[in-house]
Homo-oligomer: A and B are copies of this chain.
Amino acid sequence: MTKTIQTAVVGVTGYAGAELARLLLRHPRLQSAPPVFAGRVDEKDAARGGIPLSEIHPQLADSNGSGNLKLEPFSWELLASRGVEVLFLATPHEQSREWAPEALARGLRVIDLSGAWRLVDAANRAVYAFEDDGSELAAATQAQAVYGLPELHRARIAGARLIANPGCYATSIILPLRPLVAAGLVDLARGIVADAKSGVSGAGKAPTARTHFMYAADNLSAYGAFTHRHTGELLEQIGIDASEIIFTPHLLPIPRGILATLYVHFHEPQTRDSIAEVYHDFFSVSPMVRLFDKALPQIQYSVRTNYADIGFQLAADGRRVVIVSCLDNLLKGASGQAVQNLNVMLGWPEAEGLE
């Protein structure tokens, strides 16, 4: 086994950060527990130093698991003294925007789960709250960021120092669409539709009107049609124009999981086999994508796994296809993918610690 390394996580007070700490703790190549930190979100977080993770996430009430990890007060010196080599940021976008350059300057590698460094095109970044100051440092940092979708960018991730971990919706939409678009099959002029549905954990741990049980339960609601901030990722990674896709997210009354239903027109009639071949070729070395040959995937199948599941149904005319993709928004859509990126970055088996 290759040498082990030391990692750390900032932002374990959120769902993704906590899930990440849990995964790192049981990763077979990471033998000591990672130091974990709250974000700099507010004063309360600062005061949380020393308390066990199980007090913030009581469901982690392990007698010997991640619930016992204790929050520490963050300092760059502490990271250095612990020999941390890879820093995970599960922090707000604007905080990642500040911290990633500093971490890189200190010689750390960074895997950032926020939207801070995902977007190459400044226009696409405009949807985020952080100030894009146009500085040289920001430009240089962005230039070395790699979009952390291993199925698309495995080679570049392997050598990366800064990985921008994709959005959850973005992962569920890019994976099934990119192979078909890359193969030149898709009639983009007719427009792609991405109708995606996510569980409530995607809306974050903060109690809000939208995450109230009475709002989410027994309900379904659409939001952010044409404006959701994962749109930029779709455009850049699928390689299409804003006029060529409509993406509408919905809030499902379930804790976790995403199902995206994708509607695509082809230039020429296809067969079930011709499409399957495109997918099998594209994902031939991708252990975390499961292709469904008969039935369509359902949310239950991939929840609590790091798999992205993809299936499709072709119209009789061979010209139109409905593709269904599913994944767990906290795993393949966030923390599991971050660990997958860690594995690829360090040359470890891609699914290590994820099964």
Contacts and interface: CB of A to CB of B under 8 A. Distances in A.
Interface of A: 15, 58-59, 61-65, 190-191, 193, 195, 197, 200-201, 205, 207-209, 211-223, 225-226, 243, 246, 248, 250, 252-255, 257, 259, 261, 263, 265, 287, 290, 292, 295-301, 303-305, 307, 309, 313, 315-317, 319-320, 322, 324, 355
A193 B193 contact: yes
Given A63-B307, A212-B212, A222 B259 contact: yes
Q: Give the copy number.
A: 4
A222 B299 contact: no
A324 B211 contact: no
Given A201-B214, A207-B208, A208-B207, A324 B219 contact: no
Given A207-B209, A211-B213, A212-B213, A222 B324 contact: yes
Contacts of A265: 191
Contact of A217 (B61, B62, B217, B250): B217
Nearest to A190: B190
A288 to B, nearest CB: 9
A201 B208 CA distance: 15
Contacts of A217: 200, 213, 217, 253-255
A266 to B, nearest CB: 12
11 contacts: A193-B195, A195-B261, A211-B214, A218-B254, A220-B254, A220-B299, A221-B298, A221-B299, A246-B322, A248-B322, A263-B263
